[in-house]
Amino acid sequence: MKAYYHDELPGDQREMHDSGRPVDESTLEKIGVLYKYALPTDSGEVPEEIEALAKERNYKNRDCVTISPSSFGDAYEDKIRIFYEEHIHEDEEIRYVVDGNGFFDVRSLDDHWIRCYVEKGDLLILPEGIYHRFTPAISNYIKAVRLFKEEPKWIALPRPQEENPSRTSYLNSIAA
């Protein structure tokens, strides 16, 4: 995983958009974003370290998604445009990358985009209520395990969501 400020320049969302200003792990921690690295097993399964974390944090359900033109067909461009619309969820967003690469963009404290480049072996946990968006990289291929605490509650609520309880509790948690 590599995190940096997005250059906020126009262009294909799948390009790196690296401003050259890195973001360290403690800055991510302050906005509630957690990160762990452990390569998948030889057969492409979730490794023991990630299983342990899933157990510890009570992630009971999961699925595996592949985002690529071959998995979505004609709907691909529409699909990735929708993933890239700024939104929140009323639950954590937990993603473990098994293969390929992509970007999770999260809002900094001063409301700029921090771009998290993820690839094989990266686990990223976005807190409930954080504004974020996702795009595959120019490879147009990412395969990820999506973990859920309970039932999948991954409806994307578009910004603004200032009255949403998940949003207000998120803002309280980062102010504390």
Considering beta carbons, is residue 93 or 105 the nearer one to Ni ion? 93
Residues 138-157, one symbol each (x = binds ligand KMT by CB under 6 A, - = not), give ----x-x-x-------x---
Computed on alpha carbons and rounded to an integer, the radius of gyration of the chain in Å comes to 15
Which 3 state secondary structure label does DSSP give 110? Answer: coil
Considering beta carbons, is residue 93 or 128 the nearer one to ligand KMT? 93
What does the alpha-carbon distance between residue 158 and residue 155 come to, in Å, rounded to a whole number? 10
Q: Is 50 in the site for ligand KMT (CB under 6 A)?
A: no
Write down the residue that tokens 């504390």 correspond to. 176
The least distance separating ligand KMT from the CB of residue 154, rounded to whole angstroms, comes to 6
Comparing CA positions, the residue from 94, 106, 83 lying closest to residue 6 is: 106
The least distance separating ligand KMT from the CB of residue 170, rounded to whole angstroms, comes to 16
Amino acid letter, 135: T
Q: Applying CB under 6 A, which residues contact ligand KMT?
A: 65, 67, 83, 93, 95, 102, 134, 142, 144, 146, 154
